[in-house]
Amino acid sequence: MVAVYKKIITAIVIGFAVIIAFIAADRIYPENQFWDEISTISQGTSESTASDRVILWGIAMEEFYDNPVFGVGPHNFGIRAPEYATRESAARYPNVRTLWGRSLHNIYFQTLCEQGIIGVVLFIVILLGFIKMNSKTRLYLEDITQKRVVTDDASLQEITKYYHFSKAVLFAMVCYLIGGFFYPIYEYDWFSDLLILNMLLYLIIVQDKYALLGKSDTERI
């Protein structure tokens, strides 16, 4: 169980570490030299999704450099994009205003440019809270089982069902974070839905534990 949480934390750290590395490389190699080099990954496919994302991410980073603390504001990436148009983006998008409402196909770049460092920190804090709450849910279920406060098959099946449901919510969040690297899922409610499901499951289990083990046992966890 601990290994799973370590993997999630590692994935989050790696995600933002990659972005920081991109920022550093872009600062070291000025005049878009870095992004020009990166764009070669899509040579031969000038209309490829890869080159499209590289251009959009480049604009996003320029927006972040000018607005590092709070970003340009939610949903403002496309609105502010004309201010940061480059030679490559102008060739790709003759009318840069068509970027209004466009997704970056990467929740991390989107968070960074639109909500800045403050948004990134809040995003990480929310994720850490999700992981902690999910962990406590399963610890509560394991505690109920180990103390053998329920012995009938029906109750044990109910506990097992909640336990696996908690793991499913955790796995769904991992899939969301991985998918966020490549797909435009920023505008969907999946993230908030998983947070709500995780919290409801936690509250249900805490209430059941309180009823089964008593207040003194619950307070010690």
**Element counts in the chain: helices (H) and strands (E):** 9, 0
Whether 15 and 95 map to the same domain: the answer is yes
The pLDDT score that the predictor gives to residue 148 is: 62
Residue 96: count of CB within 10 angstroms of its CB: 18
What does 179-198 look like in DSSP terms, one character per residue?
Answer: HTTTS--TTSSHHHHHHHHH
Task: Look at residue 211 and tell me if it is in a domain.
Answer: yes
Q: Which of 127, 138, 106 is nearest to 205 (CA)?
A: 138
Whether 100 and 172 map to the same domain: the answer is no
Host domain of residue 203: 128-219
The pLDDT score that the predictor gives to residue 154 is: 66
- What is the DSSP-derived secondary structure letter of residue 29? S
The pLDDT score that the predictor gives to residue 82 is: 80
Whether 143 and 61 map to the same domain: the answer is no
Residues 91-137 pLDDT 10s: 677 666 667 777 788 889 999 999 999 999 999 999 999 999 999 88
Q: Residue 146 pLDDT more than 60?
A: yes
Q: Are 12 and 127 in contact (CB under 8 A)?
A: yes
- Cα within 13 Å of Cα(167), Cβ side: 11
Whether 64 and 26 map to the same domain: the answer is yes
Provide the domain count of the chain: 2
Whether 78 and 153 map to the same domain: the answer is no
The pLDDT score that the predictor gives to residue 41 is: 47
- What is the DSSP-derived secondary structure letter of residue 84? G
Which two three-digit tokens encode residue 98? Answer: 């068509």
Whether 132 and 215 map to the same domain: the answer is yes
- Given 112, 141, 161, which residue is the final one in a domain? 112
Task: Look at residue 117 and tell me if it is in a domain.
Answer: no
Whether 72 and 164 map to the same domain: the answer is no
What does 145-182 look like in DSSP terms, one character per residue?
Answer: HHTT---SHHHHHHHHHHHHHHHHHHHHHHHHHHHTTT
Whether 108 and 205 map to the same domain: the answer is no
Whether 108 and 20 map to the same domain: the answer is yes
- Given 80, 112, 144, which residue is the final one in a domain? 112
Whether 6 and 104 map to the same domain: the answer is yes
Whether 19 and 97 map to the same domain: the answer is yes
Task: Look at residue 122 and tell me if it is in a domain.
Answer: no
- Given 50, 79, 112, which residue is the final one in a domain? 112
